[in-house]
Amino acid sequence: MLKIELVDRDPYIQFVEKHPLRNFLQYPSWSDLKTEWKWSSQFVGWFNQQNQLVGAANILYRKVPGLNKYLAYIPRGPLIDWFSDYSLQEWFNPLFNHLKRSHAFSVKIDPPLIRKRWTAEAIREHLSQFRKYRLKNKKLTDILPSEVFHEVEYVRQELAAMGWKLNPAIDSFDTVQPQFVYRLSMKGKTLEEIYNDFHPLWQERIFQAENEGIQIELGTEDDLPNFHQMMVKQGEREGEHIRELDYFMKMFEALTFEDPHRLRLYLAKQGDRLICASLAIRVEGHTWDIYGVQGEDTSVELASILLRWKMIQDAHQMGDQIFDFRGVSIGLDEQDADYDLLKFKLGFSGEACELMGEWDFPVIPMLHWAFDMYMKRR
């Protein structure tokens, strides 16, 4: 029998830091950031009969206007043993009871479990065949996976049987967190071995970037306005909404307060000219490349490749086993703008991974249904 209780910040962090599925979205610093934008949060733990902490979750809550009811969200969580002797019902029934007491009528999760993966070599091979036979509208999911994790398929099956509903996303970015991500495994590899796996053209461009005097620097909070200005201009070109500068200032403050190495700002410069930049978020063993931005400089591709190589080198030096390029679209048509993102990441070798997806559960079914109907009619 498992029970759920609120957990203080320090023991919660201690548990998360030892969990194999730890990720930055389940650290308290992320909820600290979100509280600035109308979210509240709780740290909860699952305890067994020996009163040992065996699972944890950072739950974010968003209040529904006019009601004392909340939407609950557990990003890239919860951090439980999905394959333990406990059934999923034993894990989740205490959670549902806790959410009811917390006035939540619906909960969303996107578990940090990989369902399928495709190696860079397999993707390149199929892309070559698609071009050869002039095939259109092909997707990553049309390629036979290099590996399927059947135990994760079982988890999906059991969630559905419990009443969880999978968000029917068409593409990776149709969910709150990307369902398809691109990762480079560095486990047991030297930097030389990692570099040798890069596409020869990427190796050549790293050499060329260095020869052209492009340098990678670590920025500070003082560099965030320039980073944000470049992001705004990129957003205007791509027709995307961009968060305010204050969001990134608060992110820098919250994450580095928890751990001075949690967040790093990388800047690619040629002389005094900023060409591109990116934020890296790190927890022990795993670095994510997030919020990459670039200008319209002719050297931007060279600088972007060199910048990621520097990020990979630093992650490897700190002992990380995974460098995570974050989301990719599943479309493989070269005319699709989103395809360029996958093409860029393929150059570093690695693999595309499909995570388990985004799931919703109606804690209070009638309220969940009414809210869902309201959102669909907006």
Mean pLDDT of 107-124: 98
Q: Are residues 104 and 141 in the same domain?
A: no
Residue 61 belongs to a domain with what CATH number?
A: 3.40.630.30
* Residue 221, pLDDT score: 96
Q: Is the pLDDT of residue 373 over 80?
A: no
Q: Is the pLDDT of residue 30 over 80?
A: yes
Q: Are residues 284 and 232 in the same domain?
A: yes
Is position 231 within any domain?
yes
Count of the separate structural domains present in the chain: 2
Q: pLDDT for 48-72, tens place per residue?
A: 999 999 999 999 999 998 889 999 9
Q: pLDDT for 257-307, tens place per residue?
A: 999 999 999 999 999 999 999 999 999 999 999 999 999 988 999 999 999
DSSP 3: E
Q: Are residues 92 and 170 in the same domain?
A: no
Give ∠ CA 177-180-184 in degrees, rounded to 5: 110
pTM (2 d.p.): 0.96
Q: How far apart are CA 171 and CA 327, in angstroms?
A: 10
CA atoms within 13 A on the CB side of 11: 14
Is position 69 within any domain?
yes
CA atoms within 13 A on the CB side of 12: 22
Question: Which band of pLDDT confidence, cut at 50, 70 and 90, is reported for residue 10?
Answer: very high
Q: Element (H or E) spanning 94, and its range?
A: helix 88-101
Q: Are residues 259 and 130 in the same domain?
A: yes
Q: Identify whether 225 is preceded by a cis peptide bond (ω within 30 of 0).
A: no
Q: pLDDT for 323-360, tens place per residue?
A: 999 999 999 998 887 899 999 999 999 999 999 999 99
Q: How far apart are CA 324 and CA 6, in angstroms?
A: 31
Give ∠ CA 21-26-31 in degrees, rounded to 5: 175
Q: Which domain holds residue 242?
A: 114-149+159-355
Q: How far apart are CA 247 and CA 245, in angstroms?
A: 5
Q: Name 15's Cβ contacts closer than 8 Å, sequence gap at least 6.
A: 7, 45, 53, 56, 79
What percent of the chain clears pLDDT 90, i.e. is strictly above it?
90
Q: How far is CA 16 from CA 28, 47, 83, 115, in A?
A: 10, 14, 17, 22
Q: How far apart are CA 164 and CA 357, in angstroms?
A: 12
Q: How far apart are CA 177 and CA 355, in angstroms?
A: 10
| List of long-range contacts for 83-88, beta carbons under 8 Å, 24+ apart | 83/151, 83/155, 84/54, 86/2, 87/158, 88/155, 88/158, 88/159, 88/162
Mean pLDDT of 111-136: 96
Q: Are residues 76 and 178 in the same domain?
A: no
Is position 202 within any domain?
yes
What percent of the chain clears pLDDT 70, i.e. is strictly above it?
99
Is position 154 within any domain?
no
Q: Are residues 76 and 210 in the same domain?
A: no
Q: Name 228's Cβ contacts closer than 8 Å, sequence gap at least 6.
A: 242, 245, 248
Q: Are residues 104 and 225 in the same domain?
A: no
Nearest of 95, 93, 56, 58 to residue 73 by alpha carbon: 58
Question: Which band of pLDDT confidence, cut at 50, 70 and 90, is reported for residue 378?
Answer: low
Question: Which band of pLDDT confidence, cut at 50, 70 and 90, is reported for residue 156?
Answer: very high
Q: Are residues 322 and 302 in the same domain?
A: yes
* Residue 376, pLDDT score: 66
Q: What is the DSSP string of 292-343?
A: EEE-S-TTHHHHHHHHHHHHHHHHHHTT-SEEEEEE--SB--TTSTTHHHHH
Q: How far is CA 344 from the centre of its chain?
A: 18
Give ∠ CA 33-38-42 in degrees, rounded to 5: 65
Is position 12 within any domain?
yes
One-letter amino acid for residue 306 of the chain: L
Q: Are residues 242 and 142 in the same domain?
A: yes
Q: Are residues 76 and 18 in the same domain?
A: yes
Q: Are residues 121 and 259 in the same domain?
A: yes
Least confident of 222-231, 233-242, 257-266: 233-242
Contact status, residue 346 vs residue 82, Cβ threshold 8 Å: no
Is position 230 within any domain?
yes
Is position 256 within any domain?
yes
Q: Are residues 225 and 308 in the same domain?
A: yes
| Average pLDDT over the chain, rounded to an integer | 96
* Residue 375, pLDDT score: 62
